Amino acid sequence: MDWMLKDLAEGVPQTRHVIVLSADGLKMAQHSTETDTADRLAAACAGLQSLAAAVASELPHGSGKMRLLVIEMDGGFFYLMAAGAGAYLAVLADEGVDAGLMGQRMRDLVLRIGEHLNSPPRHNQPAT
């Protein structure tokens, strides 16, 4: 999966970090990001997707599931996209990024490798 994340990072100018995470905030893959940074972003993403799902549940005909979250901040943009059952694609980019191109490339990536981005629910397993 690393080469696909690299393709996204290098295909959209101004991209800083690309990570794939599970719904519970554990980093599954990363590109162009130090491990500590990726872990912090993954943990923050878990909270954001939970908040977005809570807001989405207020829509009368929606499923309550978050599909895409975009946050514009001083200095850049943050994107969080559902990428399969229990998995998310997150990107942090500088303010000069082409927002439309980023959204399109993220959707394309999710479609190409969606089944590889699934994170099955964790189950308690007996210690051996």
**In the prediction, which pLDDT does 66 show?**
82
Structural domains of the chain ordered from first start: 2-116 (3.30.450.30)
**In the prediction, which pLDDT does 54 show?**
85
Band of the pLDDT at 120, cuts 50, 70, 90? low
Helix pair angle (99-113, 2-11), 10° resolution: 160
Place of tokens 């942090």: 92
pLDDT of 6 strictly over 60:
yes
Q: Distance of CA 60 to CAs 24, 51, 53, 64, 92, Å? A: 26, 17, 13, 9, 31
Mean local confidence (pLDDT), 50-78: 87
The CB-based long-range contact list for 40-44 (8 Å cut-off, 24+ gap) reads 41/17, 41/90, 41/92, 42/90
pLDDT tens digits, 67-110: 899 999 999 999 999 988 888 999 999 999 999 999 999 999 99
